[in-house]
Amino acid sequence: MLLLTAAVSCSTPEKKTADRTNPFFEAYNTPFDLPPFDRFMDGDYIPAFEKGIAEQKSEIDAIVANPDAPDFKNTIEAMERSGVLLNKVSDVFFNINSSLTSDTIQKIARELSPLLSKHGDDIILNAGLFKRIEAVYNKRDSLGLNGEQYMLLEKTYKNFVRGGARLDAAGQEKLRKINEELSIVSLMFGENVLAETNKYKFVVENEADLAGLPAGFRDAAAEAASKAGMEGKWMFTLQKPSLIPVLQYVENRNIREQMFKAYNMRGDHNDELDNKKIASRTAALRAERAMLLGYPTHADFVLEQNMAKTPAKVIAFLDELLGAAMPMAAKEAANLQKMIDAKGDNITLEPWDWWFYAEMLRKEKYDLDEEEMRPYFELGHVRDGVFAVANKLFGIQFIKKDDLPKYHPDVEVYEVTDADSSHLGILYMDFYPRDSKRGGAWMDSFRKQSRMDGVEISPVITTNFNFTAPSGDVPALLNWDEVSTLFHEMGHALHGLLANSTYNSLSGTAVPRDFVELPSQIMENWAPEPEVLALYAKHYKTGEVIPETLVKKMQNSSTFNQGFAMAEFLSAARLDMDWHTITDTIERESNTFEQHSLTRMGLIPQIVVRYRSPYFSHIFSGGYSAGYYSYIWSEVLDSDAFEAFKEKNNVFDKETATSFRKHILEKGGTEDPMKLYVDFRGREPKKDALLRKRGLK
C-alpha cells in the first residue's frame, strides 16, 4: 500500500499517444521485470499517476463498502494490496527526479505535489476506512496474528491516528491545508539547493593560483572548463569532489575563502533561490501540525516512532557528546593556530583554513598525505572490495549485467544472487555527479521485496553517489571519505536486497530513522580492516596492495581531527532539534535563530555547522526532520555490533554474520528494533565502542 503525502486528480482512462501505450499501463516484459527506461516519456507520468490514484481510490472504496465484518484480511491486507500502479510509477518517477531530473520533471513534480498530498489525506482521513481499521485493531489480541501481521496492524492503525483520523472536520480540513503546503515548500527547498549548487562556477585563468593542488585535480578542473567552452582555464564547482580538494590543498587563501563562502551561503542570497523563509515556514507548519495532532512539538511527533522516543532523550544524548567534542575541537583549533604561527603565515585561523592546515598537520604528525592513499582507492577496486566483503559475510554474488535497462549510460547494473545461486535482486550503482542529480549519496528502490499472496517480488535497489569522476587516462580515484561512503551505501543496499518480509510496507529499510543507519554504518567498519584493505586497496597502475606502512599510518591517524568532525556533525544534529522543538507557529528569522542555536551549544567560530539551515536538505526536503541525530545514534549501534565480530577474532565470522543477516537485515520493520538488536547481540547496545572509535575515551 502507498500512503503518500499528496495525490492526484482522478480522470484516468488509459491514454495512448500515436498508437503508443503508456508503458506504465502494461507489463514491462523486461528481464527481472525492470523498468524499461528507454520507453518512458515525460508525458507518461501524469496520466500514470492519475490512473494509479483512481485505481487506489476504487480499491479503498471497495474496502469501506465491504458488507463483511472487518478483519485482518479484508481490511488490513486489502489496504496493503492496494495502489500497485501508483507504487509502480512513483518508484520510477521519484528516483528519476533525484538522479536525472530536468526542468520538465521538476515541473511535473510541482504539479504532482498537492495532488499526491490530497490523495494521501483522502485515505488517512476516510472515516469509514478508519472505523474498519479501528475495529480490527481493538480485537488484535484475539486474532491469532503472527508477529509480522501484528506489526502491520499496529503500524497501520498508528499511521491513521498520527495522520489525523481522530480529528474533527475542522481539524481535518486544517491538516489538509498544512500537508499540502508542506509538500510544496519541501519540493521548493530541494530544487533551490540543486539550482544554487549548479549555478556556481569558479574559473581560474592563471595556473599559478592553483599552487598546492595535486595534478589530478588540476586536470579534472581543466577538463571541466574545456567541456564548458573555456579551453585553457580551470573550472571548479560546489560539488564535493571539486570543492574539498580546493579547501585541502590550494595555497591561495583568497580562492579557498571564495569557494568556502559560496558553498556556505547557498540559499542565503535574498533572491529567488533563497531558502531562509522556506525553512522558517516549514518549521512553523510542522509545529502547527504537531500541536493540532496533540503533540507538544514536531520532534515529539517524529520521535514517538523512533528508538529514542523523546526529544529530551535525544538532546541529552547530543549534549553529552557535544560536551566531549567541543573541548577536543577547541584544542585542535589551537594546534592549527600554533602551526600557522610557527610557519609565520600571520593569519588567524578561519573556517576556510581548517581543511588546508589540518591536511598539513596530518602530514607533519603522521607522515600521512591523503593523496598518497588515493592511488590505492580506484573506484572499480573499491566496488569489488565491498562486493567481496558482502560475499565473505553472506555468501552473495554480484554479476555485472550490461544488457539490462538503465536510466543513464554511467549507471552499472548487477544481478545479486544468494549463496545457492538463487536470484535475490538487482542493484543499480550510479557513481558520478551531474547537473541533473542531487548532491550527496543515497540508496533507494525501484521495487521493494515482498511475498504477499505467495507471490515472490524481488527487490530492485539503486545506490547513488557523487564521486570524483575519471579524468583523461586516470580512473576515478577515491579519497577515504568516499571509500567509506561506498561501504555505507552498500550497507543500505544489503538491507533492501536481503529483505525477507511478507509485506512491502515493512520490508527492507522500512524501519525507524534511528535504526536504519545501523546496516549502512556497520559496513564502514570493515573498510579499514587490514585484511579487507588487502582485498581492494591496490595501486591503479601497478596493482600493488597498499603497503603495511601506509595502513599503519592510517590506523595511527584514525582519531585525527575528530573534534572537528564531531563538532561539525553534532552542531547540525542539535540545530535540527532546535528547529523542531519550537512550541509555537511563529516564523523565525532563519539566520538569527540559527546563530542563537550555535552560540548556545558553544560551536567555536573556526568551525561552521555541517549544514546551515538554507541548505539543510536532510531536514527541510528529505526525511530526516528531528532525525539527523540518527547517524550518531546508529553509530553507537554499529560500533557495538561490529565488536561482536571482533570478539570472535574474525571480522568475517560466519555465525555472527548469519545472525546479523537473520535478525537485522532480513527483518526490516517487522519487529521492534531494540528487540531485533538484542536478538542479534544478546544485550542492549553500549556507547563504549563509539567513544573509543572517535577518540573520546
Identify the pLDDT of residue 19: 66
Identify the pLDDT of residue 20: 87
pLDDT in tens, 260-292: 999 999 999 999 999 999 999 999 999 999 999
Residue entry with cell 532525525 = 627
pLDDT in tens, 36-54: 999 999 999 999 999 999 9
pLDDT in tens, 619-635: 999 999 999 999 999 99
pLDDT in tens, 97-138: 999 999 999 999 999 999 999 999 999 999 999 999 999 999
Same fold, 16-166 and 375-556: yes
Task: Give the pairing type, strands 460-464 and 423-430.
Answer: parallel
Considering only CA atoms, which of 576, 621, 685, 512 is closest in space to residue 311? 576
The whole-angstrom separation of Cα 173 and Cα 190 is 27
pLDDT in tens, 176-186: 999 999 999 99
Contacts of 409 (CB under 8 A, 6+ apart): none
Assign 10 a pLDDT band (cuts: 50, 70, 90): very low
One of 1.10.1370.40, 3.40.710.10, 1.10.150.20, 2.60.120.380 is the CATH number of 375-556, namely 1.10.1370.40
Identify the pLDDT of residue 1: 37
Identify the pLDDT of residue 696: 80
pLDDT in tens, 554-568: 999 999 999 999 999
CA-based end-to-end distance of the chain: 46
Residue 318 corresponds to which cell in the numbers above? 547530543
Q: What is the pTM of this model?
A: 0.93
Assign 15 a pLDDT band (cuts: 50, 70, 90): very low
Asked if residue 671 lies in contact with residue 307, where contact means CB atoms within 8 angstroms, the answer is no
- Reported as type and span, the H/E element at residue 413 is strand 412-417
Phi, psi at 416, each rounded to 5°: -110, 125
**Helix/strand/coil (H/E/C) assignment for every residue in 229-281:** CCCCCEEECCCHHHHHHHHHHCCCHHHHHHHHHHHHCCCCCCCCCCCHHHHHH
Q: What is the mean pLDDT of the chain?
A: 95
> Under the phi-then-psi rule, with left for phi > 0, alpha for psi from -120 to 50, and beta for the rest, what region is 367?
left
Q: Residue 451: how many CB atoms within 10 A of its CB? A: 16
Instruction: For residues 642-659, give the mean pLDDT.
Output: 98
76: DSSP letter: I
DSSP state string for 432-473: S--TTS-SS-EEEEEE--B-GGG--B--EEEEE--PPPPBTT
CATH number for the domain running over 16-166: 1.10.1370.40
Instruction: For residues 342-368, give the mean pLDDT.
Output: 97
Identify the pLDDT of residue 531: 96
pLDDT in tens, 202-251: 999 999 999 999 999 999 999 999 999 999 999 999 999 999 999 999 99
Query: Which fold would CATH assign to domain 276-368+561-628?
Result: Neurolysin; domain 3 (1.10.1370)
Assign 468 a pLDDT band (cuts: 50, 70, 90): confident
Residue 212 corresponds to which cell in the numbers above? 598546492
Share of the chain above pLDDT 90, in %: 95
Helix (H, G, I), strand (E, B) or coil at 460: strand
pLDDT over 80 at 3, yes or no: no
546: DSSP letter: P
Note the residue count of the chain: 697
- Reported as type and span, the H/E element at residue 445 is strand 442-447
Instruction: For residues 381-392, give the mean pLDDT.
Output: 98
- Count CA atoms within 13 Å of residue 85 on its CB side: 25
What does the domain layout of the chain look like in residue ranges?
16-166, 200-264, 276-368+561-628, 375-556
pLDDT over 90 at 13, yes or no: no
Identify the pLDDT of residue 410: 96
Identify the pLDDT of residue 512: 96
The whole-angstrom separation of Cα 517 and Cα 636 is 10
Residue 32 corresponds to which cell in the numbers above? 527481472
| Active site (catalytic) residues | 489
Signed CA dihedral, 566, 571, 576, 580: sign only: positive
Share of the chain above pLDDT 70, in %: 97
Instruction: For residues 351-373, give the mean pLDDT.
Output: 95
Assign 18 a pLDDT band (cuts: 50, 70, 90): low
pLDDT over 50 at 7, yes or no: no
The whole-angstrom separation of Cα 625 and Cα 435 is 26
Identify the pLDDT of residue 167: 98
